[in-house]
Amino acid sequence: MILALRADGPVTELVLLQAGGRELDRERWESGRQLSVQLLEHIQQLLSCHQHSWKALTGLIVFQGPGSFTGLRIGITVANTIAYAQDIPIVGTSGDDWVIAGVRRLRAGETDEQVQPIYGAEAHVTQPRHGSPPA
């Protein structure tokens, strides 16, 4: 099984594919600011719906951007962690055909070892206010 994950905006997408690349299921949900709380549960439910466990995963595809700083950071971190824990290949892709591109890369035996996000712009990090106590 191959799991594809896209978390570059308020809607998160999971795609479950057979090892050959045929799509079995696709789920989209409005994750908003709850992505870090919901993501693993949604992956677990998707696998369970098809009577599979984490051990059934043979590869991961993750959309690497551009997109939301926080969404990409959470999604890619979860994907990298699953790939490491399950000792399976992971590839990062972009564009409209991100799933197809990922399947091609996995079939070719490619792996990114660790996917890095492409934000498309500098992150807008909130600066501490003057006079705030140190953390």
Span 62-115, pLDDT tens digits: 999 999 889 999 999 999 999 999 999 999 999 999 999 999 999 999 999 899
Structure-token pair, residue 30: 């409005």
For residues 97 and 127, is the Cβ–Cβ distance under 8 A? no
In the chain, how many H helices and how many E strands? 3, 5
CATH superfamily, domain at 2-107: ATPase, nucleotide binding domain (3.30.420.40)
For residues 128 and 98, is the Cβ–Cβ distance under 8 A? no
pTM: 0.87
SS3 of residue 28 by DSSP: strand
Q: Is the dihedral of CA 48, 54, 57, 61 positive or negative?
A: positive
